[in-house]
């Protein structure tokens, strides 16, 4: 029997794993899922911690892009060439982030093993590219299996496909993996930007056959996965559902208060 079935109905710790560009965490006056989760956790007296990996920050990327474009234009470089140069630099950032995700997964696995050694149950909320970090941390490596103490895995705006997710699903009790995604057509980041970046840097599509399905929906082959749709306007709009997202991470069996995917 999976130890998850005999443990407390509420985890002792909730870990948040950010996505691409989220390394900085943001300021208190900014809208972000992470900041909204911390506010919700404070209200519910939940121990919430963020695991940071070297994904870079969107602010520094935007500043670097702006400075680069300004320097190119003031030096007389053609606008078209400047824009192509920005694309190349953006792809370099994407490539670096994918490599950092692999490294971050190893460090996260070590952290999870320490938590397990302390006998603590935990849930994980993973956003966007953070789902890749979490997936690799759970299924790749040696030593204590972190899945043994995992209360619930909640993926938000996931970049994973069914094949990548399968070993995690098979290791957990039914209903312990929840996937939250946007309605069809609203997540342009997952629908176009990330797949294009991945194809241009690796030559492979990001979602494989899933590209023709609802972007962000995973686990269609696994009835154990609870797929839910959040009425978000875009990829960075999940902060409006922070209270519900935290609630899902805390509840092992209750149906979350969001709309099930069709």
64 is a domain residue: no
15 is a domain residue: yes
In this prediction the pTM is 0.78
| pLDDT for the residue 1 | 32
Q: What's the distance, CA 97 to chain centroid?
A: 13
Per the listing, tokens 């069709």 go with: 262
Domain span holding position 161: 3-57+103-252
| pLDDT for the residue 176 | 87
82 is a domain residue: no
CA gap 2, 150 in Å, rounded? 10
- Which residues touch 215 (CB under 8 Å, ≥6 apart)? 181, 182, 184, 187, 190, 191, 207
- Which residues touch 197 (CB under 8 Å, ≥6 apart)? 90, 91, 94
| pLDDT for the residue 169 | 87
- The sheet that has 48-51: what strands, in order across it? 48-51, 13-17, 122-127, 150-156, 177-181, 225-229, 259-260
| pLDDT for the residue 75 | 54
| pLDDT for the residue 70 | 39
Instruction: Name the strand (E) or helix (H) holding 97.
Output: helix 79-117
90 is a domain residue: no
| pLDDT for the residue 145 | 85
| pLDDT for the residue 251 | 82
85 is a domain residue: no
143 is a domain residue: yes
73 is a domain residue: no
Q: What is the CATH number of the domain that holds 227?
A: 3.40.50.1820
From first to last of its 262 residues, the chain has per-residue pLDDT tens of 344 444 456 788 999 999 887 777 655 545 689 999 999 999 999 999 999 998 765 544 443 434 343 344 455 554 444 444 444 555 566 667 778 888 899 999 999 999 999 999 999 999 998 999 999 999 887 777 888 889 999 999 998 888 888 888 888 887 889 999 998 888 877 777 666 665 555 556 555 444 444 456 776 678 888 889 999 998 889 999 999 999 999 986 545 555 544 4
In total, how many domains does the chain have? 1
Are 215 and 261 spatial neighbours (Cβ–Cβ below 8 Å)? Answer: no
- CA proximity to 48, closest of 196, 199, 262, 246: 246
Strand partners, 227: 179
219 is a domain residue: yes
């Amino acid at each position: 029997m999976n130890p998850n079935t005999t443990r407390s109905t509420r985890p002792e710790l909730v870990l948040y794993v950010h996505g691409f560009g989220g390394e900085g965490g943001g300021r208190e006056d900014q809208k972000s899922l992470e900041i909204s989760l911390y506010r919700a956790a404070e209200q519910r007296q939940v121990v919430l911690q963020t695991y940071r990996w070297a994904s870079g920050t969107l602010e520094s990327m935007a500043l670097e892009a702006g400075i680069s474009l300004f320097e190119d234009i003031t030096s007389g470089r053609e606008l078209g060439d400047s824009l192509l140069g920005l694309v190349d630099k953006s792809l370099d950032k994407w490539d670096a982030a994918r490599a950092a995700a692999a490294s971050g997964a190893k460090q996260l696995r070590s952290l999870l093993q320490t938590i397990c050694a302390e006998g603590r149950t935990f849930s994980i909320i993973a956003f966007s590219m953070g789902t890749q970090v979490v997936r690799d941390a759970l299924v790749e490596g040696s030593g204590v299996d972190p899945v043994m103490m995992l209360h619930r895995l909640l993926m938000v705006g996931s970049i994973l496909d069914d094949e990548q997710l399968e070993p995690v699903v098979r290791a957990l009790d039914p209903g312990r993996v929840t996937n939250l995604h946007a309605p069809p057509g609203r997540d342009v980041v997952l629908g176009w930007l990330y797949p294009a970046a991945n194809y241009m840097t690796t030559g492979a599509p990001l979602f494989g056959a899933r590209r023709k399905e609802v972007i962000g929906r995973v686990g269609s082959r696994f009835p154990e996965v609870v797929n839910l749709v959040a009425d978000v306007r875009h990829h960075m709009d999940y902060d409006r559902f922070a209270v519900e997202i935290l609630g899902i991470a805390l509840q092992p069996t209750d149906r979350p208060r969001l709309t099930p995917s069709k």
